[in-house]
């Protein structure tokens, strides 16, 4: 799949290609991550899940995604 207007970002320390002006919400969906079981940090700031569709990804952004795992 060829991505137009591509930019480089880091997700969990790994460089990936994203679309210019892609929202964090769309990135999470593209990565097929369960939104209700993750926390997202963008450039060392924790994001509000209710605003992910308004937060745009920029070149060289650093995103950390943490998965929650249940257990006892």
Higher-pLDDT residue of 72 and 42 is: 42
* Domain span including residue 18: 6-67
**In-domain check, residue 15:** yes
> How far is Cα 59 from Cα 27, in angstroms, rounded to an integer?
14
pLDDT value at 9 more than 90: yes
User: Does residue 72 fall inside a structural domain?
Assistant: no
CATH of the domain at 37: 3.10.20.30
Rounded Cα–Cα distance for residues 17 and 49 (Å) = 22
Question: Which of the four pLDDT bands, split at 50, 70 and 90, describes residue 71?
Answer: confident
Instruction: Reply yes or no on whether the pLDDT at 21 is more than 90.
Output: no
Q: Whole-angstrom Cα distance, residue 5 to residue 54?
A: 19
Give pLDDT, residue 3.
59
* Residue 35 phi, psi (nearest 5): -55, -30
> What confidence tens digit (pLDDT) does each residue in 24-70 have?
999 999 999 999 999 999 999 999 999 999 999 999 999 999 988 77
Is 55 within a domain? yes
């Amino acid at each position: 799949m060829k991505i137009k207007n591509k930019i480089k970002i880091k997700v969990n320390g790994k460089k990936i290609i994203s679309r210019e002006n892609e929202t964090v919400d769309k990135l999470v969906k593209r990565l097929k991550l369960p939104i209700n079981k993750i926390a997202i940090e963008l450039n060392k700031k924790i994001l509000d899940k209710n605003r992910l569709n308004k937060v745009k990804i920029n070149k060289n952004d650093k995103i950390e995604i943490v998965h929650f795992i249940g257990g006892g």
